[in-house]
Chains A and B, each alone.
Chain A
Amino acid sequence: MSTHTFKPSLPPPNMSVGVVGWIRANLFPNWFNSLLTLFALYLVWITIPPILNWALFSADWIGDNRDSCTSGGACWVFIKVRLSQFFYGFYPEDLRWRVNLTVLLAIVGAAPLFLRAMPRKLRYGAIYLLAYPVLAYWLLHGGFLGMSLVETSKWGGLMLTLVIAVVGIAGAMPLGILLALGRRSDMPVVRVICVTFIEFWRGVPLITVLFMSSVMLPLFLPEEVNIDKLLRALIAVTLFEAAYVAEVVRGGMQAIPKGQYEAAAAMGLGYWRMMGLVILPQALKLVIPGIVNTFIALFKDTSLVIIIGLFDLFNSIHQATVDPAWLGFATEGYVFAALMFWIFCFGMSRYSMHLERKLDTGHKR
């Protein structure tokens, strides 16, 4: 007796698997979606080729003046010629190694903090955070210990943008945490001060703060006193962002269940150890997206210093577009500015996602 054997099952119809199947299921499932797909394809067709054509295929790359820009596409020669100014501003050319060294030290110095196997990480981190700013100030500004002085009026370009952003972030983070703690404090004086501070800085636009610092402040000061323009901007940005960070951190602290506070108190921990060892580590982890969001906003806000005449990346580019030798290439300049800002903001965003994954302890739903 022959045993019954099933026929092998037929492969699914060609039209429902593989690339074709995916396209059918996702792009053309019914007449309405098909229409939308065709419309989207049309939009891509009319926008992408001209953009690529302008930016790449018919762009000018070689040369050193406007006469080499003849093809009708983007004139990247303009960016190339001005690139060092976009990066360093008016920083003296023979001293630019100092800027490079500062950036290199930041990367090399911070690298061990990202190694999992690094022993005594906390102690190293603390020393780094205390020593690096002094070192960076010595290298960038100089004026003591044998380093020649480079005034802040000569700083500019991407370097200035990074200085404002890094100082703003490094200053706003601790100040913001303190303000958040203060706002949730039981001590009425501390609470009132913190609430007033936060509400004041959140209530005024950054542009107003910068404007006040550069237009009103000098009128109140005696004539001999002249606070450095950059310093004014740094203080304004730091205080402003600290208020935002404080509110984000406070949100995180409110998300921690009351049991955690009580448990920490039951363990006999005092206020600072309770906050430092139990509450803040959990709260900060929760609000990573919010904090990074604030910092990305801060990074982009640095371009507002244009209104007080500081030459950050954006203003350096703007400045280059009014040089009579390069009039009419503003588009290239602004595209380049957008690209640079995007690279940094995207980098921050990716890093925050990585941090979230690394610190994930299964709270995510």
Chain B
Amino acid sequence: MKAIKMTLALVAASAALGASTQATAGTTLDAVMKKGFVQCGVSDGLPGFSYTDEKGQYKGIDVDVCRAVAAAVFGDAKKVKFTPLTAKERFTALQSGEVDVLSRNTTWTSSRDSSMGLNFAGVTYYDGQGFLVSKKLGVKSAKELDGAAVCIQAGTTTELNLSDYFRSTGMKYTPISYDKSDETVKALEAGRCDVLTSDQSQLYAQRIKLANPEGYVVLPEVISKEPLGPVVRQGDEEWFDIVRWTLFAMINAEEAGLSSKNVEQEAKSSKNPDVRRLLGAEGELGKDLKLPKDWVVQVVKQVGNYGEIFDRNVGAGSELKIARGINALWNKGGLQYAPPVR
């Protein structure tokens, strides 16, 4: 008798739990609509990805992704609040609902995607480990680095990648480890090592710190895969789709030649069916995602297409001057590819 009661209680409890988890599934959009802004987790400071300018405005690629999501949901890129997160608290903040999107140069890996209750909505930046060398060395490729002394930040995966790379190519090297990335820069400048290795996006930032940035060059080889992208909680497909397609919309917009300058004009006058479907003049893209009909117009107008965001924050239009490289569109030799709108 007692056992039956217990079982009944358990069943009731689990039913209640099940009901409550179902209630939370698919409600991020509702919750966001209700509070009137998107809460977005960003980095606590990374050049080109998220930082604050002199006026206290957040800037960077990761920040612009958040702004784009806000523009998609509310038609207003300003309806977003940023929570700076350290590398350690970022996943907790997302899991506990403190932030709605985590856009914080987070590498998409199998374990993070499968076992942490997270979903990666796409890739905003294909990063990878690279090498920074002095031009005086006359090295044109990483394959000529045999016997080099390499400056590296201790305790990071870059250390392991480096050893893998040199082992697989059968070259010798001397690692010189430092605790802080600033120290590696100073060591390179002082000639303690020939090469500095780190994620490519960071190499460009470190190059600026050198007294004579023009005297150094980032080698073309990339020896590891670091796809960075926005992350959302697992179990809310509706919100996942919104973030994912916001990203796709920006990439598709660049491919279709739509920019913040011409998108409003094109929305009215374009005859191209691809453009018309993307911008909501035809088809059901907005309705399917539970977003306003003109959401892509708002995203591109207020934030820009993918190329504009890249240029402004890390590319030619910024201090970092990172080449598009593998982040170019797929039809221009890069990896950025978005499914068609249909």
Residues of A whose CB lies within 8 Å of any CB of B are 81-82, 85, 89-90, 153, 211, 214-216, 218-219, 221, 223-224, 226, 229, 306-309, 311, 315, 318-325, 327-328, 330
Contact A324:B205 (CB < 8 A) given known A82-B54, A90-B56? yes
A286 to B51, CA, bound (A): 48
Whether A218 pairs with B51 at a CB distance below 8 angstroms is no
Give bound CA distance, A315 to B52, whole Å. 12
- Across the interface, do B44 and A85 meet the contact criterion of CB distance under 8 Å? no
Partner of A323, one of B47, B85, B93: B47
Check if B56 sits within 8 Å of A89, measured CB to CB. Answer: yes
Q: Give CA–CA (A104, B53) in the complex, Å.
A: 29
Residue pair A323, B51 in contact (C-beta under 8 Å) = yes
- What is the chain B residue whose CB lies nearest that of A91? B56
Closest to B46 in A: A322
Contact check, B84 vs A311: say whether CB atoms are below 8 A apart: yes
| B279 on the A face (CB < 8 A) | no
The answer for the CA separation of A322 and B83 in the assembled complex, in Å, is: 17
Asked if B56 contacts A85 (CB within 8 A), the reply is yes
Known: A218-B96, A219-B96, A309-B89. A319 touches B319 (CB 8 A): no
- For B54, B95, B208, the residue with the greatest tally of chain A CB atoms inside 10 Å of its CB is B54
**CA–CA, A324 and B319, complex, Å:** 6
Question: B92 touching A85 by the CB < 8 A rule?
Answer: no
For B92, what are the chain A residues with a Cβ–Cβ distance below 8 Å? Answer: 214-216, 218-219
* CA of A131 to CA of B45, assembled, Å: 38
CB of B209 closer than 8 Å to a CB of A: yes
CB of B85 within 8 A of CB of A324, answer no
The 5 A-B pairs of least Cβ separation, nearest first, read: A218-B96, A328-B209, A324-B319, A322-B45, A223-B97
- Is the beta-carbon distance between A309 and B85 smaller than 8 angstroms? yes
Known: A215-B92, A218-B93, A318-B45. A325 touches B53 (CB 8 A): yes
B110 to chain A, nearest CB (A): 23
Interchain CB contact under 8 A, A153 and B85? no
Task: For B86, give its contact among A82, A308, A321, A323 (CB under 8 Å).
Answer: A308
Interface residue ranges, B against A (CB under 8 Å): 24, 44-48, 51-54, 56, 81-86, 88-89, 92-93, 95-98, 182, 205, 208-210, 318-320
* Whole-angstrom distance between the Cβ of A80 and the nearest chain B Cβ: 11
Q: Is the interface of A mostly helix, strand, loop or mixed?
A: helix
| Residue of B with least CB distance to A216 | B92
Q: How far does the alpha carbon of A82 sit from the alpha carbon of B81 in the complex, in Å?
A: 22
* In contact, B96 and A324 (Cβ under 8 angstroms): no
Q: How far is the CA of A293 from the CA of B176 in the complex (A)?
A: 40
- A89 — which chain B residues lie within 8 A by C-beta? 56
Taking CB atoms, residues of chain B closer than 8 Å to A309 are: 44, 83-86, 89
Q: Is the CB of A327 within 8 A of B56?
A: no
Residues from chain A with a CB closer than 8 A to the CB of B88 are 211, 215, 307
* CB-defined contacts of A219 to chain B, threshold 8 Å: 92, 95-96
A343 to B48, CA, bound (A): 34
Cβ 8 A contact of A324, one of B48, B86, B95, B98: B48
Min distance, Cβ B91 to any Cβ of chain A, angstroms? 9
Q: For the complex, give the distance between the alpha carbons of A308 and B86 in Å.
A: 7
- Cα–Cα distance between A330 and B186 once the two chains are bound (Å): 12
Is there contact, CB below 8 Å, between B47 and A223? no
CB of B301 to closest CB in A, whole Å: 25
Contact between B205 and A327, CB atoms less than 8 A apart: yes
Look across to chain B and name the residue whose beta carbon is closest to the beta carbon of A88: B56
**From residue B22, how far is it (CB to closest CB) to chain A in Å?**
14
**Chain B residue with the shortest CB-CB distance to A321:** B45
Complexed CA–CA distance, A330 and B44 (Å): 16
A327, B185: Cα distance in complex, Å: 12
A85 — which chain B residues lie within 8 A by C-beta? 52, 54, 56
Residues in chain B near residue A223, CB distance under 8 A: 24, 96-97
| Complex contact B89–A308 (CB within 8 A) | yes
Residues of B within 8 A of A214 (CB): 89, 92
Point out the residues of chain B lying under 8 angstroms from A319, CB to CB.
Answer: 44-45, 51-52
Q: Is the CB of B86 within 8 A of A307?
A: yes
Q: B residues within 8 A CB of A320?
A: 52
Report the bound CA distance from A345 to B159 in whole Å. Answer: 40
A314 → B minimal CB distance (Å): 12
- What is the chain B residue whose CB lies nearest that of A330? B182
B45: chain A residues at CB < 8 Å are: 318-319, 321-322
Let me know if A327 and B54 touch, CB within 8 A: no
Q: Which of A89, A218, A324 has the most CB of B within 10 A?
A: A324
Nearest CB of B to A255, in Å = 43
> A residues within 8 A CB of B95?
219
Q: Is the CB of B44 within 8 A of A327?
A: no
Write out the residue numbers on chain A whose beta carbons fall within 8 Å of the beta carbon of B84: 309, 311
Q: Which residues of A contact B97 (CB under 8 A)?
A: 218, 223-224, 226
- Nearest-neighbor residue (CB-CB) of A89 within chain B: B56
Could you list some 18 contacts between A and B, CB below 8 A? A153-B82, A211-B89, A215-B88, A215-B92, A216-B92, A218-B92, A218-B96, A219-B96, A226-B98, A307-B88, A308-B89, A322-B46, A322-B51, A324-B205, A325-B54, A327-B205, A328-B209, A328-B210
